[in-house]
Amino acid sequence: MKQILWFRRDLRVTDSALLQYAEDEVLPIFIFDKNILNSLPKDDKRVSFIYESVLNLKRELQSLGLDLAIFYDEPLNVFKTLAKDFDEVLCSIDFDAYAIKRDKEVEKVLPLKRFNDSFILNPNEHLKADNTPYKVFTPFYKSLNLITQSFSIEEYKRNEKLKLTSFNYKKIISLEDLGFEKQELPSFLYKDARDLLKEFLLEIDDYQVNRDFFYKDATSKLSVHLRFGLISPKEIFNIVKKSNVNDCEFFIRELFWREFYNYILFHFPNSESKNFNGINISWNENEDDFQKWCEGKTGVPIIDAAMIHLNKTGLMHNRLRMIVASFLTKNLFVDWKKGEKYFALKLLDYEASSNIGSWQWAASTGADAAPYFRVFNPYTQSSKFDKDGLFIKSVIKELEEVDPKLFHIENALSSNLFFNYPKAIVDISLSRKRAIENFKRAKDENL
């Protein structure tokens, strides 16, 4: 039997379902998907990161006596070419709409064996007593007690008897061949995921307290590596559990929020494009409001700094994501799907299930979402989590000498004669009241 090992978002040789379940002669491949890449800007940092990660995977496979054939094409075209020489394809499973459509097309050409390689849980399992899926995180998490409280989760083991099949695949595709320019990445992305985790565990004792202070950035910095599978969630779980450090359980709980959102997308695929709770909302269609949010020109310092930082680096702290999402969907009353699509374009760690779930949470339309009357006050948030304005000053350099107290008072900068800062495009109190009234009306109409 000859098998194709289609690496996608599992760019590693450890805890690899593909390398465990492959049987004899194999051809590992990676496809730079034209359907995805052609819609991205040529300076997309993620492509630089994925490209280097794919080359590293190729080197790791070569050290095992295998190799990696790299293609730049539409997946269907690749498999039409390979079909006559191979019997089946092994790959990890994805649940977003494009992935489902893509895999169904490929399956018409070659049999496709899918494995749960990017998440810990199989979404088909862990249902409620009535055999329906959970919609609220806490009971979902409690139902996993045997897993979350275990000392370790069994990882995939590599079949060491695999042989590389003969195939003409020696050509190396350059980043330029893909039509992209090499980008400078944040320094932590040049580190191995396991080294990042070790560094994080040395300082995890105050994780629960410090993780919301975005100027400190006390997070693990593993989200990009996890998204593209340079390390598996099971590996992270096992390493953290074995470390036996304080705040270990809180971090594990956060890891399972990612599982929950994947579980929701699997069971409720329509949530990718529709309000999960089914309410109909007449969103604000003012495109100028949305563009000012995208560009960081809202007149609210913390919102502007967060968006400018995202646009420049592809990074945004989780607390900031909640703040800017609340501002867009509640204060500006713009459809969450617009924000979700913008994050999909910009975030280095973009993952469909987590991004969709988080945006629906912020917009009070999703599974286990924030109550519609919960609206983050951006000034209160910046005062609480960045009192000295360190993050804002690091991003908006012209505000470096400003008294940080002014960042936390509505329109304090715009009313000051010494600064040329725009007035906020929306009144926080009035817009909050409007959002609550609109949500209440929509919920009442949905009854």
Q: Spell out the domain ranges in the chain.
A: 2-117, 119-154+193-267, 287-446
Q: How far apart are CA 242 and CA 230, in angstroms?
A: 20
Measure the CA dihedral 255/260/263/265, to 10°: -110
Sequence-separated (6 or more) residues with CB below 8 Å from residue 166: none
* Contact status, residue 241 vs residue 23, Cβ threshold 8 Å: no
Nearest Cα residue to 74 out of 32, 104, 15: 32
Joined together, the tokens standing for residue 31 give 């496809």
* Greatest extent of the chain over all pairs of C-alpha atoms, in Å: 76
How much is the CA Rg of the chain, to the nearest whole Å?
Answer: 23
User: Is the Cα dihedral 73, 76, 82, 84 positive or negative?
Assistant: negative
CATH superfamily of 2-117: HUPs (3.40.50.620)
Using a 10 angstrom Cβ sphere, with 0-12 exposed, 13-18 middle and 19 or more buried, the burial of residue 87 is middle
Q: Which CATH number fits domain 287-446: 1.10.579.10, 1.10.8.60, 1.20.1440.230, 3.40.50.300?
A: 1.10.579.10
Structure pTM?
A: 0.93
Residue located via tokens 């039409």 = 80
- Which CATH number describes the domain made up of 119-154+193-267? 1.25.40.80
Q: How do the pLDDT tens digits run along the chain, 447 residues long?
A: 899 999 999 999 999 999 999 999 999 999 999 999 999 999 999 999 999 999 999 999 999 999 999 999 999 999 999 999 999 999 999 888 999 999 999 999 999 999 999 999 999 999 999 999 999 999 999 999 999 999 999 999 999 999 999 887 767 899 999 999 999 999 999 999 999 999 999 888 778 888 888 888 888 999 999 999 999 999 999 999 999 887 788 899 999 999 999 999 999 999 999 999 999 999 999 999 999 999 999 999 999 999 999 999 999 999 999 999 999 999 999 999 999 999 999 999 999 999 999 999 999 999 988 899 999 999 999 999 999 999 999 999 999 999 999 999 999 998 776 778 999 999 999 999 999 999 999 888 876
Element (H, E) at 163: strand 163-164
